[in-house]
Amino acid sequence: MTLNAKAKQKKMTKKAAKRKTKLKEKNASLHLSPQEKTTRKIARSLDYPIYQCLIPTKLFEYGIGHLIFARRLSNDRIGIAAFLVDVLALGIKDCYYDEVPEATYHLSIKDLISQVDELTEVEPNFFKRLILEVIRFARSHDFEPHPDYLVVKKIFEDVDETTCEEIFTFGQDGEPIVLEHGCHDPHCDHDHA
């Protein structure tokens, strides 16, 4: 075999090995659990800038609301972590992560939530501190955050909450308030009977 033929053979072998590795990775990703897929998406999102951190203006008045932590991804997409937060007792009641086109973010997610309460933009360190403090309060009364929180919280792992000096007051006089129907909104129309 000539030197040129050997080099060509070596190059083809290297290409085949590379293709095989890519195929293995692709097949492995097909067998990931939804939680593993979300974890990978969130990990990739950390390479992108924070877009918005939104909290309901009357969160502490109503006692419950959706908080949004968003990152601007490539291709006009937004990575959204949404947290349903109960500041009166239960802490993180629900949370999820999704990636949507920017238009969908503005029209659906933000507008839907703002129909319940106006949203206020806050600094990322304020947002993370609020989340961590409400969890600490809820845990002190034996309420654990939603199981998905362990994955979704990674969206703000690069934020330093210690630079926020805000002091939050949860519950009523430091004690949790849990209503039977699970809602703290004074405007709630649930049947309380």
157-181 tens-digit pLDDT: 999 999 999 999 999 877 888 766 5
Contact in structure between 110 and 54 (CB atoms under 8 Å): yes
Radius of gyration over every alpha carbon of the chain, rounded to an integer in angstroms:
23
Quickly state the pLDDT bin for 1 (edges 50, 70, 90).
low
Domain for residue 192, yes or no? no
Cα 107 to its chain centre, rounded Å, is: 19
Domain for residue 60, yes or no? yes
Say which residues have a Cβ less than 8 Å from residue 152's Cβ, sequence separation at least 6. Answer: 38, 42, 81, 83, 95, 96, 97
Quickly state the pLDDT bin for 193 (edges 50, 70, 90).
very low
Domain for residue 165, yes or no? yes
Domain count within the chain? 1
Residue 22 pLDDT exceeds 70: no
Where in the sequence is the domain holding 98, given as residue range(s)?
8-187
149-159 tens-digit pLDDT: 999 999 999 99
Domain for residue 135, yes or no? yes
Domain for residue 94, yes or no? yes
Q: What are phi and psi of 128, to 5 degrees?
A: -65, -40
